[in-house]
Chain A
Amino acid sequence: MSTTARKAGFGATLWDYLTTVDHKKIGILYLIGGFFFFLLGGLEAMLIRIQLIAPDNEFISAQFYNEVLTMHGTTMIFLAAMPLIFALMNAVLPLQIGARDVAFPFVNALGFWLFFFGGVMLNVSWFVTGAPDAGWTAYAPLSIFSEGHGVDFYAIGLQIAGFGTLMGGINFIVTVVNMRAPGMTYMRMPLFTWTAFIASVLILFAFPALTVGLFLLTFDRLFGANFFDPSMGGNVIIWEHLFWIFGHPEVYILILPAFGVFSEVISTFAKKRLFGYSSMVFATVLIAFLGFMVWAHHMFTVGLGPIANSIFAVATMAIAVPTGIKIFNWLFTLWGGSIRLTSPMVFALGFIPTFTIGGMTGVMLASAAADFQYHDSYFVVAHFHYVIVGGTVLGIFAGIIYWWPKMFGTMLNEKLNHWFFWLFFIGFHLTFFVQHFLGLMGMPRRYWKFQGEQGLDLFNLISTIGALFMAVGTIIFIYNVIVTQTKGQKVSGDPWDGRTLEWAIPSPPPFYNFKQEPLVRGLDPLWVEKMEGDGKIKPAEPLGDIHMPNRSFVPFVMSLGLFIAGFGVMYQGGYWILAVIGFAITAGSMLYRSFKDDLGYHVHKEDLEDEEGDGSNG
């Protein structure tokens, strides 16, 4: 079906992607969407850094600075990091467990389109009312009294995107639970699959708190509720709790899949089995478990009392233990391995010290008494950029480069990748290392200006120069992508000499992934076959018909409906008609979906044999 559309025109390709339910194509959609927002967030970061290049700068206005700063955080977390992680999960997870697709291909597409329209909604605010300006945490009462509709766009846009994320999370949990190939026991799953699985579980339990928080915010702002209005008995602390009950697991949602990527990359390029596999799994689960009991460390200065602060401080420090286990396991995997310094590996090696610094400042921040000094200063900014950029972003890029051949069948230029890494890495440390000191010197975060002659000038200048390095690095990466894809030089299915199941099939894989369900005979199944067998994965079933899901345009329409309805709910009055239309579109497409039997179709085994060798293997 989709294989015949190889040389299709632009319109056909667009339609193909608008209606696809194939996890590999949805992965590519997430990659494009996430990377677009990553560039947008990066642009906002550059505006912030240019504003702060010198004391008393007037590059942008105070209001615009607030908007840029809010949107930088919101965009990077929700619209860049999350979707890029989903891109990797979509592209790789089903392949790693030997599945032909995710559990709910339709829901998978729906999740993407909800994210997409949520992200577009947030950014429409720039053009109609001014972007949200209450910080990415949107603390009440600031967010309640913020004028215009900026914060409404924040609440409703994130609500829509959040539904998509929740669906994606459930989808991956079920995929891992139900769709593993024969022999792929839980304790044989590659670590990326494990971390993606645990991150999905975190999504399942963390996002509902955000959903409720955003609903309360929306009701307060638009429908006269009093949750966060103290004069009517409301309580602003409720928002902080709900936001961080979601927000802290969220940072583990971001970092765990990155840990998984590094585990794959390090073991592949050290040519060794991952050291302490089971302790890695255990540490992942433990981090997730503890991650739910630490959120109030964002609220040490709120005044929750010494007992609450102590409990959360101890729980927070406890997380350093499983994280330390992981760091040591990576080091021991490297130990005595035959290391190849490919670009993903260089990212991994850069990650270890960077993340360790971020973890160290994390333990510093976890001591509640000391946190009163660090709170809301640039020290905090430095800390979370060390963990999120040094962990998640490096992980995402390592993953993108590592699995690029699997996703597109081409190989990014290694030399340019190294340039990208070094510029980005050096730039990153220039930007954020000095910010630790800015914070300790007392520079508060989120401020539009700083005064001269207070010893802050030089470090701010250095920080901005570092940001420029990162921008140049990113441009090199984009250049690399464009050059590689225009050349279109195909590579084999296993260009890195990989260990896991995804490298056993052609690049890019045929739309049904595995012609026959693979039989998994151990951890790192492909490596097992390379060492003990003939290097080919044994099939677990005879060649037979393959059941595939039908493509569908409904997810797009369903999400579009909510997008339209969002504006109606926001502007009210005569615009209520938009809400009616939007919800009608969504409800109608849901009814259409449930009334029309969708049994999928079968690829016959005769057709399968015809395509032998078509997957550009070799």
Chain B
Amino acid sequence: MTDNTNSTNEKQQFYRKKHKEEMKHHVLTFAMMIAFTLIAFGLVLAEVSPMFTIPIIIVLAAVQVLFQLYYFMHMNQEGHEMPALMIYSGIFAAVLTVLALTTIVWW
């Protein structure tokens, strides 16, 4: 952080440009998410075989969530190593929990 007053303005301009580029990605991400949602709802409304539909919509959900995490929540930026570690640990524990509760309980 060795900025002096002359370069401050330039810096702010540079930041703005960067932010703007990011924002473009965000809008693109949003479009993809809407598209995925439409596909998921479409599959269900079209009454395609459940064996096919269920895995597909779960994958679509997972991808949407990755979009949220990496773009909307900026996990693609630097300085997110520990957050990523903890989120993935959380997902690990979450998957184990869901797996256990869907397989090894009595019905």
Chain A residues engaging chain B, CB cutoff 8 angstroms: 173, 177, 201, 204-206, 209, 235, 237-238, 241, 245, 292-293, 296, 303-305, 308
Contact = CB atoms under 8 A, between A and B. Distances in A.
Contacts of A204: 86, 90
Contacts of A296: 100, 104
Given A201-B89, A292-B92, A304 B104 contact: yes
Contacts, number: 39
Contacts of A308: 103-104
Nearest to A293: B96
Contacts of A303: 106
Contact of A292 (B96, B101, B104): B96
A43 B107 CA distance: 42
A237 B106 contact: yes
Given A209-B97, A245-B97, A293-B96, A238 B105 contact: yes
Interface in B64-107: 82, 86, 89-90, 92-93, 96-97, 100-101, 103-107
Given A237-B105, A238-B105, A245 B100 contact: yes
Secondary structure dominating the interface of B: helix
A116 B89 CA distance: 30
Interface string B16-49: 0000000000000000000000000000000000
Nearest to B97: A245
Secondary structure dominating the interface of A: helix
Given A177-B82, A237-B106, A205 B100 contact: no
A237 B100 CA distance: 11
Contact of B93 (A177, A292, A304, A305): A292
Q: Taking each of B82, B93, B96, B107, which has the highest tally of chain A beta carbons within 10 Å of its own beta carbon?
A: B93
B92 A241 contact: no
28 contacts: A173-B86, A177-B82, A201-B86, A201-B89, A204-B86, A204-B90, A205-B89, A205-B90, A205-B93, A209-B97, A235-B105, A235-B107, A237-B104, A237-B105, A237-B106, A238-B105, A241-B97, A241-B101, A241-B105, A245-B93, A245-B96, A245-B100, A292-B92, A292-B93, A293-B96, A296-B100, A303-B106, A308-B104
Contacts of A245: 93, 96-97, 100
A136 to B, nearest CB: 21
Given A204-B90, A305-B104, 16 more contacts: A201-B86, A205-B90, A209-B97, A235-B106, A237-B105, A237-B106, A238-B105, A241-B100, A241-B105, A245-B93, A245-B96, A245-B97, A292-B93, A293-B96, A296-B100, A304-B104
Contacts of A205: 89-90, 93
